[in-house]
Structure 1
Amino acid sequence: MPKLHQTLATIPNRYAFINQVDKFAQCHDNFTLMLIDVVRFSDVTTSLGITVGDRFLLQIANRIISFFDDKICFGRVSGDIFGIMFPGKAEQGLMLRRYERMTEHFKTPMHHEQHAFIADFNVGAVAGRQHGFQISNFISRAEAALKQAKENKYENFYMLDGTSYAPSGRRLALKADLRRAMARDELELYFQPKVNLSTLQIVGAECLLRWNHPLDGVVFPGPLIEAAESYHMMNELAYWTLNQAFHSLASMSLSGLTPRLSINISPTQLYDSQLIPHIKMLCERYGFAPAKFELELTEDVALSNSLMVKEQLARLRALGIAIAVDDFGKGYSNLAYIRDLDITALKIDKNFVMGLSDNQVNRAIVQAAKIIGDAKQCEVVAEGIETMEHLHILRELGITTGQGFLFSRAIPLNEFVTLAQQDIIVGSSPLRKRLG
């Protein structure tokens, strides 16, 4: 039987598990990955607290491990999602029987003190083979299968074979269209201004991907990224975004503008050895210092315990690239990792900002982020600023930078240049005039 764990910390996290999956695939001709999502587990942590929740998760992990033989590879993909790699060919019928046996096994409640919990699962699975194996594609397909399992009305299980894709009429059309969009230059970067909250001057912009679809109009990132994941084009799409950001800054500089541009980076890119050489090449081609760009990482990626991620972030910082942790506070922020990471900004999740006037806890979380940012000597940026009340409270709390619909939605390059140019030509912020 595989080794059981005494704490969650000893279970391979997402990045360690992906590394194990890659090695596993090199040792077996055929294999299957199963992703197991604990249904409504957030209700447990909300009701009973994170400590009790972690104890239940540890029980679940060990029960799953003990249910299978020692040939599996096991890891924790995210907070309440586990992964298992099985060797050999596995038809859908076999994986469905494994799923059904596992769910039947978990009908026996787990107990902790006076609390009981019966675990139920959404399960997505994908078959693979060693020939032509690509780790990022394989993981993306497994996550697509899990997403489909969650969307199924009656059966919380879905499996993709070596060639099939998760169904859904319009999304299939979007996936087919994406290849054309990449070839026909239908993709575009929009820019949401980052504003100094004291002067209301534009100090930077976040690059956001949009798709000018010939039938559907402007398509927002959700369906676009889903299509990219399903077609295994996330890395290609991420590099397109990076290249376009440099090209856009070159266009802005012709108009006398040199804002720092923030680019959302995918986890796939952090595992790509070509990322830093590519950025160096772009800096040399366009003549920009790396400090003109900031990479935004989601909290779970930035706080992962992956040695490779930490090394890549350290090399990016040494190059001069700014690093921001996006949606700070949205997940379970590990303050020990925040303490040790060399970052330049914390971006407060918009849900805390938008709830500032309704909930004192939101205010306290923003204050805590400010204290942490000050201690680390990094910038704290507020997202989701929509009202004058939000602006006034953030000023009171000492937050100096923000973005949100109060100032501007994400806008095309030419509109952003016009808005930012007014700041220079008039000598006083157009936002200040509009907001008084």
Structure 2
Amino acid sequence: MTELEGVTRALRTLSAGNHTLLHASDEQELLHDMCQVIVDKGGYRTAGVVYAEHDENKSMRWVEGIGVDNAFMKALHHTWADKEMEIGHTAAATAIRTGQPSVGRHILTDPAYAAPAYAPIRECAIKFGFAAVTAFPLRMEGEVLGAMVVGAIEPDAFGEEEVKLLGELADDLAYGITNLRMRINQQVCEATIARLAYYDPLTELPNRTFLLEHLRDAIQTAKQQHHALALLHLNIGRFRELNQILGYHAGDQLLQQLAQRLTHTIKKSDTLARVEESAFALLLPSGGADYAVQVAQQLTLVLHDPIEVAGLLVDPRVNIGIALFPGHATEADVLLRRANIATHEASPARGGYAFYTGGQEQECTRRLSLMADLRQAIEQNGLSLYCQPKVDIASRRVSGAEALVRWQHPVHGMLPTIEFIKLAEHAGLITPLTNWMLDAAFSQSYIWHEEGVERALSVNLSAHDLYHPLLIDRIQGLFSTWGIRPEMIQFELTESALMEDPAGALETLTKLKKFGTRLFIDDFGTGYSSLSYLQKLPVDSIKIDQSFVMPMVTNSDSAAIVHSTIELGHNLNLEVVAEGVDSQAVWDHLAELGCDIAQGYLVSRPMPVEQFSNWENEWARMPS
């Protein structure tokens, strides 16, 4: 074979190999197809791939081959160690050991290959009909993964240029393997995040988030098809007492056994979820009061027998509350809440279950009244600006704070934030509420600046805010009005809000970034976003959701996802903030993992902005 002919077939092989890379979806498939291309398109006699093991014997694992007997090759005792009388002097072993291409020509006639160390090479050459062989290292992330081996009929094959081109093919193959593995790891990570976000790790049942989403869909279907549905709330009595006396492990055992009993009882069309520490909920997507009673009675019988926990027989005393759509509520969270309220009326004397009986008119009147009061509070500056510190874990230096809104109602007292946020959503007050927050945050930042304090303050933006056409203009106007340096105002956006309209979110974030401000993805891990999409966002930080951070010391799954998220963030050159840091153990674990910023009750609960300076002084005096 002339040198030109060798180069020509190598180029042909390289072109066909690149085409194969573009269509590969599985690693074994990629190896098989690449070997097939080398033989069929390139005209070589054999092609194969071996992987290097890092065991005591430095074994080589034959993975795939075309033109050879794969069973025969796998049965050989391959090694890439430099050992006499073993297959350590093959081209593949040499390529793995040295990290350089290894070429062997005239295998059947060269006296050098008559040495015992090369006997396996000659045996394979005779058996599979090749007279020259070359192997190329497959490099992945700085290490040699294995080798690509090519055999040719011509004893003088593999000239310098041909080897160079085939080396490019080997590099392309290594890249393809790396890319496929990264893709699989990404899919596994995303699946793990999704499972932790939607499933309870203890019982492996869907969690409250999953149930509410599923319940919303079921309600929408019920509306369209004009039928009723029922939601049962199952509260476990004396659960805290059990934890206090027998320990949390006993409580976990009780929950797991109850979950198993319930799972074996319900229909496949029903949805069972763990919605609170000691409560389950069961969605019956079709059926009214009569059917709900039948199911409740059946569950009462199933849960009647005691459960053995920590060597004791425990009576779980489960009370069941029932709420119906549309009679009791037309919204998922309200239906769940009212089913929970009904459990307080349930008792063994009443069969262990009870229906919700609260007055709907009274509830609606209260909500309407609160909506009007909230509008007035926004217009008359009746809200309060709170903030929660963020602290650098390594230096314990205060790195900024998150701006929060609180509402002290003149009659009902301090209302839960989530409650009046939902009121704002229903009353169309989200934009006025956000505008109040922006005004308050910029004003406070200016006050701190006048006091000689440079302290970053972050503001949360909802999905509604993110896609509001006037958001950017308003923020630009506030920067102009107050003359605040861009880095002093930051913005936090939940992952779920970003995923509602990825293209629109990217456009808004890009405009916000032009101000020079820092951007955070809040509640990271709960919105099931694509990691490839994350790479495109002009964000500076991700905040790991507290549902993963808080249990990470005692829950290996949570610890694993926090660890992987920190690595992911740092690999993308992002700062990583951990929410829900409520104990020293969690702080220490995060420090070991290299997390950047901590936020949580261990540092401080949210406080009125007027108290922040005093708190910061006290924090600075605390021993590290």
Which bracket does the TM-score occupy, shorter chain normalised? Answer: 0.5 to 0.7
Q: Does 1:229 align with 2:437?
A: no
Of 94, 98, 103 in structure 1, the residue corresponding to residue 225 of structure 2 is 98
Q: Residues of 2 paired with 1:406 and 1:44: CA distance?
A: 25
Tell me the CA shift for residue 298 of structure 1: 1.3
User: What is the root-mean-square deviation in Å for CA atoms of aligned residues?
Assistant: 3.8
1:309-364 per-residue CA deviation (whole Å, 9 max, x = no partner) reads 22112221223232211111234343222232221111011122211210122221
SS at 1:336's partner residue? helix
Q: Residues of 2 paired with 1:372 and 1:232: CA distance?
A: 37
Amino acid at match of 1:99: H
Paired position in structure 2 for 1:277: 473
Amino acid at match of 1:100: H
Q: Residues of 2 paired with 1:101 and 1:168: CA distance?
A: 21
Paired position in structure 2 for 1:375: 571
Cα 1:44–1:208 change in 2 (3 A) is closer
Are the counterparts in 2 of residues 145 and 166 from structure 1 also a CA contact under 8 Å?
Answer: no
Superposed, 1:185-204 pairs within 5 Å as: 185-204=381-400
SS at 2:491's partner residue? strand
Of 496, 500, 506 in structure 2, the residue corresponding to residue 310 of structure 1 is 506
Tell me the CA shift for residue 240 of structure 1: 0.9
Q: Does 1:434 align with 2:622?
A: yes
- Aligned positions, number: 319
Amino acid at match of 1:117: K
Cα 1:102–1:401 change in 2 (3 A) is closer
Identity %: 30
SS at 2:422's partner residue? helix
Paired position in structure 2 for 1:249: 445
Are the counterparts in 2 of residues 199 and 432 from structure 1 also a CA contact under 8 Å?
Answer: no
Tell me the CA shift for residue 218 of structure 1: 2.7
Amino acid at match of 2:619: L
Tell me the CA shift for residue 241 of structure 1: 0.6
Paired position in structure 1 for 2:612: 416
User: Which moved further from structure 2: 170-179 or 198-207?
Assistant: 170-179
Q: Residues of 1 paired with 2:219 and 2:506: CA distance?
A: 25
Paired position in structure 1 for 2:408: 212
Cα 1:344–1:300 change in 2 (3 A) is same
Of 450, 456, 461 in structure 2, the residue corresponding to residue 265 of structure 1 is 461
Paired position in structure 1 for 2:268: 117
Superposed, 1:26-175 pairs within 5 Å as: 81-82=216-217, 98-100=225-227, 117-118=268-269, 120-121=284-285, 145-151=331-337, 153=339, 167-168=363-364, 170-175=366-371
Tell me the CA shift for residue 217 of structure 1: 3.0
Amino acid at match of 2:566: K
Q: Residues of 1 paired with 2:578 and 2:423: CA distance?
A: 30
SS at 1:332's partner residue? coil
Q: Residues of 2 paired with 1:349 and 1:329: CA distance?
A: 6
Amino acid at match of 2:622: R
Tell me the CA shift for residue 284 of structure 1: 0.6
SS at 2:523's partner residue? strand
Paired position in structure 2 for 1:28: none
Tell me the CA shift for residue 404 of structure 1: 1.0
Are the counterparts in 1 of residues 215 and 332 from structure 2 also a CA contact under 8 Å?
Answer: no
Tell me the CA shift for residue 271 of structure 1: 1.6
Cα 1:317–1:169 change in 2 (3 A) is same
The two structures have a TM-score, normalised by structure 2, of 0.46
1:183-210 per-residue CA deviation (whole Å, 9 max, x = no partner) reads 3321011010111112212110000110
Q: Does 1:286 align with 2:482?
A: yes
1:126-171 per-residue CA deviation (whole Å, 9 max, x = no partner) reads xxxxxxxxxxxxxxxxx984444444559x9xxxxxxx99944544
Cα 1:328–1:276 change in 2 (3 A) is same
Cα 1:286–1:432 change in 2 (3 A) is closer
1:77-107 per-residue CA deviation (whole Å, 9 max, x = no partner) reads 9788559999xxxxxxxx857231999xxxx
Q: Residues of 1 paired with 2:224 and 2:504: CA distance?
A: 36
Cα 1:84–1:411 change in 2 (3 A) is closer
4+ residue segments displaced more than 6 Å: 43-46, 77-80, 83-86
Tell me the CA shift for residue 380 of structure 1: 0.2
SS at 2:227's partner residue? helix
Are the counterparts in 1 of residues 576 and 595 from structure 2 also a CA contact under 8 Å?
Answer: yes
Q: Residues of 1 paired with 2:412 and 2:338: CA distance?
A: 25
Structure 2 residues without counterparts, runs of 5 or longer: 1-196, 231-266, 271-283, 287-328, 343-354
Structure 1 residues without counterparts, runs of 5 or longer: 1-40, 55-76, 87-94, 104-115, 123-142, 157-163, 423-429
Paired position in structure 2 for 1:239: 435
Are the counterparts in 2 of residues 189 and 210 from structure 1 also a CA contact under 8 Å?
Answer: yes
Cα 1:83–1:285 change in 2 (3 A) is farther
Q: Does 1:323 align with 2:450?
A: no
Q: Residues of 1 paired with 2:395 and 2:565: CA distance?
A: 22
Cα 1:321–1:100 change in 2 (3 A) is same
Q: Residues of 2 paired with 1:274 and 1:144: CA distance?
A: 32
Amino acid at match of 2:394: S
Tell me the CA shift for residue 304 of structure 1: 3.6
Are the counterparts in 2 of residues 204 and 260 from structure 1 also a CA contact under 8 Å?
Answer: yes
Q: Residues of 2 paired with 1:293 and 1:310: CA distance?
A: 19
Are the counterparts in 2 of residues 242 and 263 from structure 1 also a CA contact under 8 Å?
Answer: yes
Are the counterparts in 2 of residues 201 and 431 from structure 1 also a CA contact under 8 Å?
Answer: no
SS at 2:622's partner residue? helix
Cα 1:406–1:351 change in 2 (3 A) is same
Tell me the CA shift for residue 413 of structure 1: 1.4
Paired position in structure 2 for 1:29: none
Tell me the CA shift for residue 224 of structure 1: 1.6
Paired position in structure 1 for 2:537: 341
Amino acid at match of 2:487: A
Q: Residues of 1 paired with 2:479 and 2:508: CA distance?
A: 18
Q: Residues of 1 paired with 2:223 and 2:463: CA distance?
A: 30
The two structures have a TM-score, normalised by structure 1, of 0.64
Amino acid at match of 2:596: T
Task: Name which structure has the greater RCO, CA cutoff 8 Å, separation 6+.
Answer: 1
